Structure 1
Amino acid sequence: MSNEFNDKVDIAVFLTANREDFKQKLLSEAVNVGSKINDILERGNIDLLKNAEVLAHYIVENKEEELVEFAKVEGIAWAQHSLTLAFKLEWVHAIRRTLWYFLYQYDNKNEDNESPRKKFFDLEKRINDSVDQFLNNFFISYSNYKDELILSQKKLVENLSVPIIPINSSIAVLPLIGRIDTYRVHTLEEKVLMGISSMKIQTLIIDLSGIAEMELDVIFQFGKILNGVNMMGCKAILTGLRVELVRKIVDTGVAFDGQIETKGTLQQTLKEHLVLESGVQI
């Protein structure tokens, strides 16, 4: 890095005039990130060196609104491409150190009569507050985007975990797989009742052969769902009840509505109902 600096009155102009030296100093301060610059550019179309220059100018020119907006955009970009936060943290701290280095060089070229102590503390507060504001807004933006992404994926999984499959205009099948916990049973209640209403289901066959586990409170809630199905004028049929689950239901003393039917297998139940619907032997 060159030891000669252009003497400029304005700090922003000074940084622009010494752009290449600024980049080299920045790379020397962020060794780990420096080796990943091309990877990050290819992966997320994020030019770290250019963005560092933009951030430095927003800081020295005290452009608070632009800095906050820039931080939010950066946060979303890093979240979208799942870039490592440790790299971003190292990079911003390197920008902070590099900026202070160049401010020192600028100050040496532009001495004035103002008290050095007061000047230093005023500048220290403004610069560091700006960098911290960028970091705070970046991480908030990153976190919010990730939270929204996780929520949308969670909702997708919820919909997939309660797949109401129409067989014909009046019959539908609900195959349940895996563990039914408290959270999932509430999703089940909402999807089932809404599905019966929107799809005009008259018979809902609920297959439990893939259920791994169902806790006591979940069994009680499941019973309420079945009662709700009947209240909506829909006939509920349970198939595939495993021995372990039947024992648990019996031991808990939960009594399902008397109108609930139970069948051995989903295949046999479908065969019986399709025969009844068509009147043709299968």
Structure 2
Amino acid sequence: MNIDLRNIVLENSDTIVKKWLEEVSKNRNNDYTSTISDELFQSTNREFVNVIFTSVDKQGVTSELDDFSERLINLGWPLSYITDGLQVFRRVTIDYMLGQSEKVDTDQFAKILDLVDNWVEPIINQLVNEYSGSWEHTVSLQRVALQELSAPLIPVMDNITVMPLIGTIDTERAKLIMENLLDGVIKHNAEVVLIDITGVPVVDTMVAHHIIQAAEAVRLIGSTCILVGIRPEIAQTIVNLGIDLSKFPTKSSLRKGFQSALELTNRKIVQTKQSEDNVEKLLDSLNKE
């Protein structure tokens, strides 16, 4: 019985494919496929339904299915395209098979449902696994990339480095900050490190504790840490929480912190006569215009 039903579906695949394409195209204007060119949409649908029938014919997962899922993932098509398409195939196929008999009893109806489910479920499982594996791999790569960017140490001048922090700081990220900070201080032979928290939205007790730990670790290896980017609301929060930041210098901006770093390394910014002349020439040229 199962073999006969499968042969009926395969022999009448053209009719089922035509009905399937009509059903899949109905909701195109209401979903993500509306932005896809007609040529790509139609060719992908044709390939999809051919892959389905190949799987039905071979009674199992095929290499064509693996290749098709890989292409969809590379093109960025969502998993819903797969699941919706297979549900349409399931509905269209069942309707067609039931339409071949004038009278369908309960047993025959159940057999048709089970048979079609046995065709569709392995395909869904395979494609979902492919998508899941791909997205997990992508998320893993993105997590590594974000970790590398979450605590950069930038040498801006001999013996002076800057660590700009952006976003929230949790325990895992604080550990990464500490490791990058200490490694960078040694690598760049930094005498002064500027930790810029301008981009940190909230400084609570835990965040302040991590920053203090980092500054103390820098001090223990013979360098000075300056905390910059203290906004008024951050200063108020620190005072209200009773957090003691008196052990290392703090500045409201990176510019003021950099000036302090220059002084700590026996340097300073000097306005030369040549730079003054250049400024005057620039102002004169603007006035002439």
Within 2, Cα distance between the matches of 1:172 and 1:159?
Answer: 17
2:85 maps to 1:88? no
1:52 corresponds to: 49
Q: Is the 8 A contact 1:237 1:261 kept in 2?
A: yes
Change (3 A) 1:157 1:43: farther
Residue 184 of structure 1: how far off its partner (Å): 4.5
Amino acid at match of 1:228: A
The two structures have a TM-score, normalised by structure 1, of 0.69
2:262 maps to 1:268? no
Match of 1:140 among 124, 129, 132: 129
Alignment length (residue pairs) = 262
Within 2, Cα distance between the matches of 1:42 and 1:187?
Answer: 48
2:58 corresponds to: 61
Deviations 1:91-148 (A, max 9, x none): 111222344456668x98xxxxxxx998886675454133112213322332342343
Change (3 A) 1:168 1:224: same
Within 2, Cα distance between the matches of 1:234 and 1:46?
Answer: 63
Deviations 1:152-182 (A, max 9, x none): 3344344444332211343211223455455
1:222 corresponds to: 211
Amino acid at match of 2:224: K
Q: Secondary structure, in 3 states, of the residue corresponding to 1:174?
A: strand
Within 2, Cα distance between the matches of 1:33 and 1:103?
Answer: 24
Residue 220 of structure 1: how far off its partner (Å): 1.8
Q: Secondary structure, in 3 states, of the residue corresponding to 2:201?
A: strand
30-39 or 19-28, larger mean C-alpha shift:
30-39
Residue 48 of structure 1: how far off its partner (Å): 1.6
Q: 1:173-188 counterparts in 2 under 5 A? A: 173-181=162-170, 184-188=173-177
Q: Secondary structure, in 3 states, of the residue corresponding to 1:218?
A: helix
Match of 1:234 among 214, 223, 242: 223
Within 1, Cα distance between the matches of 2:227 and 2:189?
Answer: 19
The two structures have a TM-score, normalised by structure 2, of 0.68
Change (3 A) 1:135 1:232: farther
Q: Secondary structure, in 3 states, of the residue corresponding to 1:214?
A: coil
Q: Secondary structure, in 3 states, of the residue corresponding to 1:173?
A: strand
Q: Is the 8 A contact 1:174 1:207 kept in 2?
A: yes
Amino acid at match of 2:207: V
Q: Secondary structure, in 3 states, of the residue corresponding to 2:211?
A: helix
2:151 maps to 1:162? yes
Q: Is the 8 A contact 1:216 1:252 kept in 2?
A: yes
Deviations 1:246-277 (A, max 9, x none): 3433443444583x333454223323544665
Amino acid at match of 2:163: L
Structure 2, unpaired ranges of 5+: 271-289
1:113 corresponds to: none
Within 2, Cα distance between the matches of 1:46 and 1:164?
Answer: 49
Within 1, Cα distance between the matches of 2:13 and 2:68?
Answer: 21
Change (3 A) 1:130 1:154: same
Change (3 A) 1:279 1:219: closer
Structure 1, unpaired ranges of 5+: 1-8, 109-115
C-alpha root-mean-square deviation of aligned residues, in Å?
4.1
2:91 corresponds to: 97
